[in-house]
């Protein structure tokens, strides 16, 4: 619950930044759409606070699908719905649970958006985060180390979208002109994983 609340706060804080990123290669609505979606999620949280983690994530996903415009709604909705499926019935979440949920969430986004690494999408931030989390768990890096490794991999993946030529979404219409700009979806994905690390490490 704290992670979701903190996500909403960070999206609100970065709303204009995401708008500016999207204005360069998209239709300038990603920040506004994500902010609207997470504000709707905040309004929903009191109704679902006593449910299990899976049910909370599924409710978040459904709310995002219905309130976020553009591609972000279905993609982020799928992210939370798939994560919720893995965490169904759980009232507590271990690091391995989060790893499995994140992997399922990202696989769901890949299936929904048909994007591959290097397409200049949110996948370029999310997939490295999944891999880094698994590797850190295998290396017994501990909870804090694993969460930071995941967030750092997402940050690097986000930054790596700058030189890429977009092959998916509205940005792909620009062709080579999309190079030189950071992908807004990868940026919002990084923000969510950064917030996960900051929230859960502080617990």
Tens of pLDDT, residues 108-131: 999 999 999 999 999 999 999 999
d(CA 52, CA 6): 19
**Quick one: what percent of the chain has pLDDT higher than 90?**
88
d(CA 81, CA 67): 15
Per-residue pLDDT, 134? 98
Per-residue pLDDT, 175? 80
pLDDT of 70 higher than 80: no
d(CA 72, CA 65): 8
Sequence spans of domains, the chain: 2-201
Cβ burial, residue 77 (10 Å; 0-12/13-18/19+): buried
Residues 20-35 have a mean pLDDT of 93
Per-residue pLDDT, 170? 75
- Maximal C-alpha separation, the chain: 49
d(CA 103, CA 160): 21
CATH superfamily name and code, 2-201: DhaL domain (1.25.40.340)
Residues 169-192 have a mean pLDDT of 89
d(CA 105, CA 99): 10
Model confidence, pTM? 0.95
Per-residue pLDDT, 14? 98
């Amino acid at each position: 619950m704290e992670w979701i609340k903190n996500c909403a706060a960070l999206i609100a804080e970065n709303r204009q930044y995401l708008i500016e990123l999207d204005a360069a290669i998209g239709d300038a609505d990603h920040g506004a759409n994500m902010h609207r979606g997470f504000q709707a999620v905040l309004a929903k949280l009191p109704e679902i606070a006593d449910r299990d983690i899976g049910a909370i994530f599924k409710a978040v996903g459904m709310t995002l699908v219905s309130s976020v415009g553009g591609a972000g709604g279905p993609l982020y909705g799928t992210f939370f719905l798939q994560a919720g499926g893995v965490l169904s019935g759980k009232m507590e979440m271990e690091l391995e649970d989060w790893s499995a949920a994140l992997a399922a969430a990202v696989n769901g986004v890949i299936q929904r958006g048909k994007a591959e690494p290097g397409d200049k999408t949110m996948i370029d931030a999310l997939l490295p985060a999944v891999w880094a989390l698994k590797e850190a768990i295998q290396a017994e890096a501990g909870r804090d180390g694993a969460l930071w490794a995941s967030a750092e991999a997402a940050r690097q993946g986000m930054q790596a979208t700058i030189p890429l030529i977009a092959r998916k979404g509205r940005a792909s219409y620009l062709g080579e002109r999309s190079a030189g700009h950071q992908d807004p979806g990868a940026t919002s994905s990084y923000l969510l994983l950064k917030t996960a690390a900051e929230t859960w490490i502080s617990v």
